């Protein structure tokens, strides 16, 4: 049986002022689908796992919003972290809870806030990974690079398998020159999408992170009992902050236990307003509107307008700009500076401005 796990964390500060700490990226409809990115993710996984086999791991701040956006997912599948501990404890707790319910189960871990337009192709790729996971590999999906991006980790693959390759080595985010050499050597992007038998993963966790393993198993054992809240409240703070890559995957790769299936579906992490607009439909002048608010544009080209504040947004004579209107804040920046929206949020945080962050 396949179980879909969706860690839903991070605030997406580069999509400020829409994305906020209290209402981050994954809770928003950013594509005009009328579904949030989280809901889109669950919908996309539906052919693989129905709602009873869908799990979301999220923080206390977003638990209620997640619950309301996903009414079909059982409460006991919404794993609420008492405090943030990076990705390994989140993924490990999900694996352990699934193992209690379905010891031979297979799980996949999927981003809550990515855009994958071709859902069918995505599902096919995951199915290939499931097949190799049954052979005992910890599977990762490797994307074919379209450019020497410095924002991704890379995967150096080795021996061929039926439908994939053994992973020889994870490589950290490189500089531009190194990225180019990776692309030239046929390395793949590390998508951060994982598939494995929960038993394989938990065994590897026990080998590399025995304390972390024991704690999540103890929490999982109490999960479907009245002691859930008491046990997680007591044990969770003892867990280290560590990513699943550092805690498990890198060591497992060294031991030859990680394999890769190549993914050739298109995929966008919607990192900022510019890259988000790139994947959305534009009008004849290249303008993209994200939202259904009123917009009036004259002599305006290649501009991203996000009318979410209930106001008219009017532009004249502008190009390559981002204009975002929300209830309490307005953002204006060139598309080429979309990454620097993070600087605004950092500055607001430094000022102690909790209202706008």
Instruction: Using CB under 8 A, list all residues that contact a second copy.
Output: 16-17, 296, 298-299, 309-318, 321, 323, 325-334, 336-337, 340-341, 343-344, 347-348, 356
Burial of 233 (0-12, 13-18, 19+ CB in 10 A): exposed
Phi and psi for 304 in degrees, rounded to 5?
-105, 120
Q: Which is nearer to a second copy, 264 or 340 (CB)?
A: 340
Nearest distance, CB of residue 349 and a second copy, angstroms: 12
Phi and psi for 246 in degrees, rounded to 5?
-70, -40
Q: How many residues does the chain have?
A: 357
Q: Which is nearer to a second copy, 164 or 271 (CB)?
A: 271
Q: Which is nearer to a second copy, 175 or 327 (CB)?
A: 327
Closest CA to 83 of 60, 55, 113: 60
Nearest distance, CB of residue 17 and a second copy, angstroms: 7
Helix or strand (DSSP H, E) at 59? strand 54-59
Q: Which is nearer to a second copy, 227 or 312 (CB)?
A: 312
Its sign, for the CA torsion 234, 76, 245, 177, is negative
**CA separation for the pair 310, 255 (Å, rounded):** 55
Query: In Å, what is the CA distance from 184 to each residue of 148, 156, 170, 177?
Result: 9, 12, 16, 11
Nearest distance, CB of residue 287 and a second copy, angstroms: 12
Q: Which is nearer to a second copy, 246 or 349 (CB)?
A: 349
Q: Which is nearer to a second copy, 16 or 189 (CB)?
A: 16
**CA separation for the pair 256, 138 (Å, rounded):** 10
Nearest distance, CB of residue 324 and a second copy, angstroms: 9
Nearest distance, CB of residue 242 and a second copy, angstroms: 33
Nearest distance, CB of residue 127 and a second copy, angstroms: 43
Closest CA to 254 of 305, 204, 293: 204
Query: Do residues 91 and 113 make contact, with C-beta atoms less than 8 angstroms apart?
Result: no
- Token look-up 């052919």 returns 47
Nearest distance, CB of residue 113 and a second copy, angstroms: 22
Q: Which is nearer to a second copy, 216 or 344 (CB)?
A: 344
Q: Which is nearer to a second copy, 241 or 311 (CB)?
A: 311
Q: Which three-class secondary structure state does DSSP give residue 51?
A: helix
Nearest distance, CB of residue 333 and a second copy, angstroms: 5
**CA separation for the pair 204, 259 (Å, rounded):** 14
**CA separation for the pair 64, 68 (Å, rounded):** 6
């Amino acid at each position: 049986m396949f179980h879909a796990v969706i860690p839903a964390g991070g605030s997406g500060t580069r999509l400020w002022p829409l994305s906020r700490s209290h209402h981050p990226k994954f809770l928003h409809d950013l594509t005009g689908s009328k579904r949030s990115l989280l809901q889109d993710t669950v919908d996309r996984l539906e052919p693989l796992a129905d709602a009873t086999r869908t799990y979301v791991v999220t923080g206390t701040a977003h638990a209620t919003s997640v619950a309301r956006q996903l009414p079909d997912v059982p409460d006991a599948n919404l794993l609420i972290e008492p405090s943030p501990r990076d990705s390994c404890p989140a993924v490990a707790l999900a694996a352990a809870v699934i193992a209690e319910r379905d010891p031979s189960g297979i799980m996949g871990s999927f981003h809550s806030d990515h855009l994958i337009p071709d859902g069918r192709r995505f599902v096919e790729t995951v199915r290939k990974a499931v097949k190799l996971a049954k052979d005992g590999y910890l599977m990762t999906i490797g994307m074919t690079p379209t450019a020497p991006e410095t924002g991704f980790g890379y995967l150096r693959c080795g021996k061929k398998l039926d439908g994939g390759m053994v992973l020889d080595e994870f490589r950290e985010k490189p500089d531009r020159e190194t990225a180019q050499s990776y692309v030239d050597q046929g390395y793949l992007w590390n998508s951060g999408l994982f598939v494995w038998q929960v038993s394989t993963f938990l065994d590897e966790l026990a080998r590399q992170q025995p304390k972390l393993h024991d704690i999540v198993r103890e929490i999982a054992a109490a999960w479907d009992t009245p002691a859930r809240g008491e046990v997680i409240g007591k044990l969770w703070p003892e867990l280290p902050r560590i990513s699943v890559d550092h805690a498990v995957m890198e060591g497992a790769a060294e031991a030859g236990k990680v394999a890769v299936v190549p993914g050739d579906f298109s995929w966008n992490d919607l990192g900022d307003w510019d890259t988000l607009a790139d994947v959305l439909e534009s009008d004849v002048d290249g303008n993209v509107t994200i939202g259904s608010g009123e917009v009036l544009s004259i002599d305006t080209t290649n501009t991203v307008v996000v009318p979410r504040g209930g106001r008219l947004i009017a532009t004249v004579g502008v190009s390559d700009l981002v204009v975002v209107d929300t209830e309490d804040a307005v953002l204006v920046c060139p598309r080429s500076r979309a990454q620097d929206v993070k600087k605004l949020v950092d500055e607001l945080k430094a000022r102690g401005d909790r209202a706008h962050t």
